[in-house]
Amino acid sequence: MSEYIAPIRDMQFALNALAGLEQVSQLPGCEDATPDLVDAVLEEAAKFAEGVLSPLNWSGDREGASWADKSVTMPKGFKAAYKLFAESGWTAMQCEPAWGGQGLPKLVGAAVTEMWKSANHAFSLCPLLTTGAIEALALAGSDPLKKIFLEKMVSGEWTGTMNLTEPAAGSDLAAVRTRAEPQDDGSYKIFGQKIFITYGDHDMADNIVHLVLARTPTAPEGVKGISLFVVPKFLVNVDGSLGARNDAWCVSIEHKLGIHASPTAIMAFGDHGGASAYLVGEENRGLEYMFIMMNAARFGVGLEGVAVAERAYQRARDYARDRIQCTDIGVRGGPKVAIIAHPDVRRMLMCMKSQTEAMRALAYVVAAAHDTAIHHPDSDTRKSNQAFVDLMIPVVKGWSTEVGVEVASMGLQVHGGMGFIEETGAAQHFRDSRISTIYEGTTGIQANDLIGRKIAREGGATLTAVIGMMRALDADLAKQHGEHFVAIRRRFNLGVDALAKAGEWIVTTYSGDVRAASAGAVPFLRLFGIVAGGWQMARAALIAQGRIDAGDKDPFFAAKIVTARFFADHFLSQADGLQSTVTDGATGVMALPEAMF
């Protein structure tokens, strides 16, 4: 069974040529992210991912996390791996230096996070949730809360969770009923149950800092009445040492399709007198604060789509190179060949490779825009980049995870019958990936957020600006006359036209017929993802041609052009059909009465 190898060459290309690492490193607060340092970080991260995390992926899936007596025990090797992970400073990489962090840009963090997720999806979820909790506390927490919790979380000694969902609430956070009762000393007691809490309990860290949504006695109904609280597993003494066990218990863990080594907890708060809790920020602003974590997590989950696609591609490619079956097509009586010689296997591998590179490029470009939105000295530049990030987060999350599942499934297909056998490892990628389209908001939720909050609400202004950026690429594409570029240009321009037409339809339709617009939301998200991915692939092809013209003979660059051509022919070609589905497909969605289903 092959192990994961970090695709550093393609990561470096996406970081430097497409996302503009050099420009990011010139932003205030990002000066340490020099090319030499980033290359060193990538090399060390690759060693950790390949040497520590990847070997635990299979065994962790087989053993799984176990629960007994309200406590979770992680699979063999996970506790030691996490200890080394924290001691190596990986939890601190993107965090503020004021709390012991290294302050590296999100762009660098995106590449490193992709490695963790490719190497060991289940393990990667613990630092993902901790990073989000750190960000929420750093932006919304009081100074006393920051002083108590942030340094330990940044160091990795303590981990963090996000507690939203309840048995009767699901994605409808207005239905949250966990209650918070104020105490005389200014703290609160929490009572209620939360479900689907990733790493709600484990034995890898000394303490777990739960961020919990709850209602105070005077809270208004609906989402406007939700507050956010810190509920530590162990209370913290005045001197910073750990105190008594809090009344926050894992009463069960879920038995899941995949990510078996990641404990998904049912958490009970307050069954024995109330869980001690501390208000984050102001009362009734909890959902606003939680969305700090949510947006960070949505981007991270989008990287899971990239990561599983890369891992599934590597495994399928290696199998196709080794598996000997049948003679080469069109050759009678010849020797049997590796299946990578067969055209349909080549087609599947190119589908996997091209989509993975497109998703990676788009995610890294969005990460760079996030860094610019945070650190750029000009307020208008910060504002425009933040608008771009807000628009693209549901695309990165929704499109990348849907494609990640498809690529993992295609990896099974490359293996043939052996893909359905657990021992090859291909099935685990498919099982692990399936949750990514669901948690942190399903694809439908991402799509409705995209067309409603991110497009219709502002009359399509940011979408129009992004389409303008896409169209600006045509002048450079027109200068290239080779066969590949002629095809790329034609497909890309048709794709942009389709996106523009669908976007205009969303803007004009949403206010008058929101149900029709919503019926086309997921096809629109897919259309947007394909065209945005094609945008980055076209940019990559132009940059690669420039390097070739300058005398660079590295075959990497020629492969970039061919891969961009394949993406154009096989995925940008879908844009017209998707646009038609968006604008014409609502009638069939809503026409049947419920009794006919």
Active site residue 440: yes
- DSSP string for residues in 332-380: TT--EEEGGGSHHHHHHHHHHHHHHHHHHHHHHHHHHHHHHHHH-S-HH
Residues 99 and 146: their CA atoms lie apart, in Å, by: 9
What six digits make up the tokens of 156? 């990795």
Catalytic residue (one of 63, 221, 440, 483)? 440
Contact (Cβ atoms closer than 8 angstroms) between residue 279 and residue 228: yes
What's the distance, CA 269 to chain centroid?
A: 29
Closest to 476 (Cα-Cα) out of 493, 462, 496, 499: 493
Phi, psi of 87 (to 5 degrees): -65, -25
Find the helix or strand (DSSP H, E) in which 211 lies. strand 207-214
Residues 573 and 528: their CA atoms lie apart, in Å, by: 13
Residues 332 and 294: their CA atoms lie apart, in Å, by: 58
Q: Which is it for the CA torsion 258, 364, 34, 8, positive or negative?
A: positive
Residues 19 and 385: their CA atoms lie apart, in Å, by: 13
Helices 483-510 and 575-584 cross at an angle (nearest 10°) of: 10
Residues 407 and 191: their CA atoms lie apart, in Å, by: 42
* Catalytic residue IDs: 440
